[in-house]
Amino acid sequence: MFIKIKNLNYLLIFIIILISFIGAAGLYSAAGGSYQPWASKHLIRFIVLLTLSLIIAFIDIKLVYKYAYLIFIFSLLLLFSVEIFGVLGKGATRWINIFGFSLQPSELVKITIIIALAKFYHNLKFTEVKSILNLFFPFLILFIPFIFVVLQPDLGTALSIAILGILILFACGILIWKFVLGISIVIVSIPLLLNYLKPYQKDRLVSFLNPEEDALGRGYQLIQSKIALGSGGFTGKGFLEGTQSYLQYLPEKQTDFIFTLIGEEFGFIGTMFVILLFFILITICFYVSIKSNHIFGRIISIGVGTNIFIYVIMNISMVSGLMPVVGIPLPLVSYGGSAMLSIMISIGLVLNMELNGDKKKLDYA
């Protein structure tokens, strides 16, 4: 045990601590210079979930491998339970209450998808990966949760699930023409999918294409976000000096738009520093993947890094007007327990994969 503690990736742990404290500072500012109601809960959650990450890091990797499919099925049951016991919020039913805590299963299912795909491809020979028949099971692993999330409806998370799955399959060696075919099918299906959008989702799409058309209505959030980012300039207005957030011009500044608040107060330098931290975090995940001697560890580590990349790129693109507002948080920075739980579990898995990357055999035979 002492050897394992000594061999932990402390750079990875330091980076996630630093990112989380930046998030706490942003939430402190968003509340007008107060730890209540967001910053204090954010820090408490992080400390508890950091402990959970370290526990996961020391779990026998063979147990994770053995019960990979059961873990995935359990997450599907949680996702399905949203249809029965789900709590309505922000125009959609995405949460369930468990012992007084609100949980968004669609965040957790991203991690279990990675685990299930990792086990499936670990058991395949390289020559079998290219077989079309061996695409059926991975397709089910992706398609079932994708459909559940679309029905909630949560198109942003559904899109991130689809992108995550596609990138993992590509990393596993699936031929590129199959991706081109799949992307072509998605593009052709877009007109059909638009008919099933909820009114608020159509408003988000319209506001993305032309936010100035209804500057005080559906385009208000995106316009204020751009103003806040632009007004920060190169060095920012200073901590606790963001006028857009303090004068309540910027909605949802504590959750999906926390990056905008950072941009206003710390400017281009501050936002680039946050992006650099995430770049280091993702690079560490990919490095652990390369070091691993077994496919299971490689796919989990590269899947976690890819998932974090999708979070970051979608959130920053959303708040800067490069894509429609889809409700994707910034990992470890935005206020919210479910996303943090998902990220910290995945960080624990990466720590575990590094400690056990030298194992040759994962079953108990």
CA distance 63 to 364: 9
What per-residue confidence (pLDDT) applies to 174? 74
103 φ/ψ angles, rounded to the nearest 5 degrees: -125, 135
Taking Cα atoms as reference points, which of 276, 311, 255, 364 lies closest to residue 19?
Answer: 276
- Is residue 363 included in any domain, yes or no? no
For residue 322, give the DSSP letter: S
Q: Higher pLDDT residue, 196 or 220?
A: 220
Q: Give mean pLDDT, residues 242-265.
A: 76
Partners of 87 in beta bridges: 95
Query: Hey, what are 135's tokens?
Result: 């695409």
What per-residue confidence (pLDDT) applies to 157? 87
- Is residue 362 included in any domain, yes or no? no
Q: How many CA atoms lie within 13 A of 112 on its CB side?
A: 23
pLDDT at 14 over 60: yes
Taking Cα atoms as reference points, which of 17, 85, 42 lies closest to residue 329?
Answer: 42
Q: Residue 108: which H helix or E strand, with range?
A: helix 105-122
Q: What is the mean pLDDT of the chain?
A: 83
Q: Residue 127: which H helix or E strand, with range?
A: helix 126-129
Residue whose tokens read 């795909």: 117
- Is residue 361 included in any domain, yes or no? no
Query: Hey, what are 9's tokens?
Result: 């990736």
Q: Give mean pLDDT, residues 341-357.
A: 92
- Is residue 150 included in any domain, yes or no? yes
CA distance 75 to 145: 9
The parent domain of residue 201 ranges over: 2-355
What per-residue confidence (pLDDT) applies to 363? 65
Q: Give mean pLDDT, residues 35-56.
A: 93
- Is residue 317 included in any domain, yes or no? yes
Maximum separation of any 2 CA atoms in the chain, in Å: 65
- Is residue 262 included in any domain, yes or no? yes
pLDDT at 229 over 90: no
Task: Give me the number of domains the chain comprises.
Answer: 1
Question: pTM for this one?
Answer: 0.89
Q: Give mean pLDDT, residues 177-205.
A: 64
- Is residue 349 included in any domain, yes or no? yes
CA distance 109 to 325: 22
Partners of 102 in beta bridges: 97
On whether the CB atoms of residues 277 and 15 are closer than 8 A, the answer is yes
What per-residue confidence (pLDDT) applies to 365? 46
pLDDT at 193 over 80: no
On whether the CB atoms of residues 245 and 261 are closer than 8 A, the answer is yes
- Is residue 153 included in any domain, yes or no? yes
Helices 10-30 and 337-355, axial angle in degrees (round to 10): 170
Q: What share of the chain is helix, strand, coil (3-state, %, to 5)?
A: 70, 5, 25
pLDDT band per the 50, 70, 90 thresholds, residue 324: confident
CA distance 177 to 102: 41
Strand blocks (E) in 134-291: none
CA distance 275 to 311: 12
What per-residue confidence (pLDDT) applies to 246? 59
What per-residue confidence (pLDDT) applies to 284? 96
Q: Give mean pLDDT, residues 82-98.
A: 71
pLDDT at 125 over 60: yes
CA distance 243 to 237: 9
The rounded Cα 225 to chain-centroid distance in angstroms is 21
